[in-house]
Structure 1
Amino acid sequence: MLQKLFCFLAVLAICLTNGCSTEGETIKVSSGSIDADEVLTLNPNADIFQYDGVIYKTNIEWVEELTLTKNEQVG
């Protein structure tokens, strides 16, 4: 009886460790900078601006409600 219990627990442990392993799965995450062409390719209607080589995309309510002035330099 004890031997059967031990065998059952050993098989259960092997199944759990093999079933929960991430071997064979590849997850690639990158946080490199994106240029304006890429942003507009992904979303042609994107509201973006570029400052100091960085692309900023707006979609925030309070930003959309601001009154902006043309020909005024930021920074």
Structure 2
Amino acid sequence: SLRDGETMISDEQSLTFDSSSGLMDERKRSVILTIKSGQYDKSKDHFLIARDTQSRVEVIRIPLKVDLAFANDF
């Protein structure tokens, strides 16, 4: 999920990383996250968070900027 501090600003998706391939391209996974409508400070760091689904322990935290050109209010 994407987070602003501890506030979730996107949906959460589950991915399974179970490939034993030695090739990085065969181990890649893709996901689409839907960001909640709202105003986001494009100069502020938001975070992409990955958690273990069973323990809920955070395993990855990646800082990023959210700069939306337009919002879809449908």
TM value normalised by structure 2: 0.18
Higher relative contact order at CA 8 Å, sep ≥6: structure 1 or structure 2? 2
Structure with more strand by fraction: 2
Structure having the higher helix fraction is 1
